[in-house]
Amino acid sequence: MGAKPRSLWQQIKQHPFIIAGIIVVVFALTAFTIAVIKFGWDWTGFTGGESKVTTTMITPGTTTTATPRTTVATEQHPAKTLWDWLGLLGVLAVPIVVGFGVAWFTSQQGKVSDRENTDNQREKALQDYIDKMSELLLEKHLRKSLPEDEARTIARVRTITILFQLDARRIGYVFAFLDEAGLMSHNPKEESIVSFYEANLEKINFSQANLRGANLRGANLRGAILRGAILRGAILDRAILEATDLSRAYFYETGLSGANLSGANLSGANLVSSSIDGADLNGADLRGTIVREEQLNEARSLKGATMPDGTKHD
């Protein structure tokens, strides 16, 4: 199902300068109307001010003694009708609406262009990464390399670097590639060919990424976003997950032994069948977390943690 189309008002609310412009225009027209009514301002043509004065003088004839008379005729200009007001408002509104419309359209086009450019750059970076890794597999025989071989070092550096450049969806593709290429071990006692052991992965956005079976033992994921990520079978033993967003993440059969989860957000996460023995859950948010009591009893610390039922642990 696609996203529900936003109403015109919802779109306008995202652009406060349009609302501000409308308010300014309404305020200006209101102030102008009040000024015309209060001060007259005949020059505006909105009141019945004088527009024409006719003077007639009668000169006494040679045979009469009539007193000279002067006649003054004043022609009143009719006040504006409602239709006149609407016409003026329409004339004033057109350039204002056009101006704001052009500004809004230009702003939207710029945002769309920026998003497209960013997306294209990420896609190119991913393809370049896969191409380089394929070269290491085919030309440098990466699968048969030894831990001290240069090919492994290059593969590790390239992989860690690319994770900082991609969005969560493409990060999932990277891990899928590593898994399919046989470069990632699912055995906690066996080092992967492309190792993330103690890798610095701080503040990377992994939200909703599929990291199934990923070996992240000892990795630094402090401040990372793993909201809704699939971590089934992943190895996070002794990983640093301090202040990490793990809300609604799926941890089935995930290794979290000795992990630092201090201050992490685990609300709504599924920890069933996962190992958290020796994990530090100091100050963690466990509201709504699916976890057994015996699992929590295995944790190293629950001090200050918000428990699944919303209570604070002493």
Over residues 283-302, the mean pLDDT reads 94
Over residues 260-269, the mean pLDDT reads 95
Give ∠ CA 150-156-162 in degrees, rounded to 5. Answer: 135
Handedness of CA 212, 213, 214, 217 (dihedral sign): positive
**Ranges 182-191, 227-236, 277-286: which has the least confidence:** 182-191
Q: Is residue 297 part of a domain?
A: yes
Q: Is residue 104 part of a domain?
A: yes
Query: pLDDT tens, 24-40?
Result: 666 776 776 776 666 66
Query: pLDDT tens, 122-166?
Result: 999 999 999 999 999 999 999 999 999 999 999 999 999 999 999
Q: Is residue 117 part of a domain?
A: yes
Q: Is residue 103 part of a domain?
A: yes
Residues 6+ apart with CB under 8 A from 308: 286, 287, 288, 289, 290, 291
95 with 200, same domain? no
Q: Is residue 286 part of a domain?
A: yes
Q: Is residue 41 part of a domain?
A: no
118 with 188, same domain? no
Q: Is residue 238 part of a domain?
A: yes
pLDDT at 85: 59
96 with 205, same domain? no
Question: Domain range spanning residue 259?
Answer: 184-314
Q: What percent of the chain shows pLDDT beyond 90? A: 53
Whole-model pTM?
A: 0.64
Q: What is the 3-state secondary structure (H, E, C) of the chain?
A: CCCCCCCHHHHHHCCHHHHHHHHHHHHHHHHHHHHHHHHCCHHHCCCCCEEEEEEEEECCCCCCCCCCEEEEEEEECCCCCHHHHHHHHHHHHHHHHHHHHHHHHHHHHHHHHHHHHHHHHHHHHHHHHHHHHHHHHHCCCHHHCCCCCHHHHHHHHHHHHHHCCCCHHHHHHHHHHHHHCCCCCCCCCCCCCCCCCCCECCCCECCCCECCCCECCCCECCCCECCCCECCCCECCCCECCCCECCCCECCCCECCCCECCCCECCCCECCCCECCCCECCCCECCCCECCHHHHHCCCECCCCECCCCCECC
Number of domains in the chain: 2
CATH code for the domain in which residue 296 is found: 2.160.20.80
Q: Is residue 305 part of a domain?
A: yes
305 with 210, same domain? yes
111 with 213, same domain? no
